[in-house]
Amino acid sequence: MIDTLPPLREIIARHDLRAKKALGQNFLLDLNLTARIARAAGDLSACDVLEIGPGPGGLTRGLLAEGARHVLAIEKDARCLPALAEIAGAYPGRLTVLQGDALRIDPLAHLRPPIRVVANLPYNVGTELLVRWLTPGEWPPFWESLTLMFQREVAERITAQPGSKAYGRLALLAQWRTQARIALTLPPEAFSPPPKVSSAVVHLTALPEPRFPADAKTLERVVAAAFNQRRKMLRAALRGLDGAIEARLARLGIAPTARAEEIGLEAFCALARDFAAHPPR
């Protein structure tokens, strides 16, 4: 037992929190597991934690029991608020709950750095937020780390290396400015109701600076073009960006016949720098 609050099954029954598919609700009921996920986020005792989608509060309880200084939880489903208020009562002054859509709420006014983000979200919302958190106007971002649950297949796309099928935009976007790894994988039965596929928790730590210099927008443009037609050779996939792409690639020592999935982060950054220094005519 990680706290003296009632078991999650009891809370869910008492507040009639039947999972709603439209809100992507698959709840974690095992508090040992939620404590493990909280630990994957590192030492939280000196951090504010932004939790998105607390639901009945299993992960929230894990975060608080593991010592988070303060948790700001944003939940769309108003039915969950009484259950979350009970948790706030058990941890006076350490949990703030906002009701609303995390895609529309700016949480920064409620958070004091250093900030870590932890979430078990519906997968579509999770990917959209991940991309936003990885592409802020300025780097380093507001967060030190992100600890996020995804479908296992998405987690593998975030951490993929060149040469693998999963390698693409998400891997490059994540790995350019973070250290990303899969912290744990979970079978469908860990959730109630169980989803169709396995899940995985990805832990991303913000690097102080990008691994290789490049302009973020140019890099995104080059990577998007390269992977939009991932089966094509680079000289064909990038022709839309530059009619003279073959010479540019050759000058940079990148084989024009290579495919995007064979090209590492360093070469993509070199390509982005070259585009910025020598824009196509």
How far apart (Å, rounded) are the C-alpha atoms in residues 173 and 177? 7
CB of 258 to ligand SAM, least distance (A): 39
Nearer to ligand SAM, 58 or 168 (CB): 58
Measured from the CB atom, is 150 or 167 closer to ligand SAM?
150
Q: How far is the CB of 119 from ligand SAM (least distance, A)?
A: 7
Residue 193: asked if its preceding bond is cis (omega within 30°), the reply is yes
E strand residue ranges, the chain: 27-28, 48-52, 70-75, 95-99, 115-120, 145-151, 178-186, 191-192, 199-206
Minimum CB distance to ligand SAM smaller for 147 or for 175: 147
How near is the Cβ of 104 to ligand SAM at its closest, in Å?
A: 8
Compute the least distance from the CB of residue 90 to ligand SAM, in Å. Answer: 17
Q: Which residue's CB is nearer to ligand SAM, number 16 or number 138? A: 16
Pair of tokens at residue 154: 């998405």
Q: Looking at beta carbons, which residue is closest to ligand SAM?
A: 53
Residue closer to ligand SAM (CB basis): 30 or 246: 30
Applying CB under 6 A, the residues found at the interface with ligand SAM are 23-28, 52-55, 58-59, 74-77, 80, 101-103, 120-122, 125
Q: How far is the CB of 267 from ligand SAM (least distance, A)?
A: 37
**220: phi then psi, degrees, rounded to nearest 5:** -60, -40
Minimal distance, residue 4 CB to ligand SAM, in Å: 19
Find, among 265, 234, 102, the residue nearest to 170 by Cα: 265
Measured N-to-C along each axis, helices 123-134 and 169-177 cross at an angle, to the nearest 10 degrees, of 50
Q: 3-state class of 37 per DSSP? A: helix
Q: Are 87 and 57 in contact (CB under 8 A)?
A: yes
Q: And the tokens for 36? A: 């493990």
Q: How far is the CB of 126 from ligand SAM (least distance, A)?
A: 9
Cβ proximity to ligand SAM: between 83 and 160 the closer is 83
Contact 156, 53 (CB under 8 A): no
Which residue's CB is nearer to ligand SAM, number 75 or number 261? 75
Query: What crossing angle do the helices spanning 152-159 and 123-134 adopt, rounded to 10°?
Result: 20
The whole-angstrom separation of Cα 186 and Cα 202 is 11
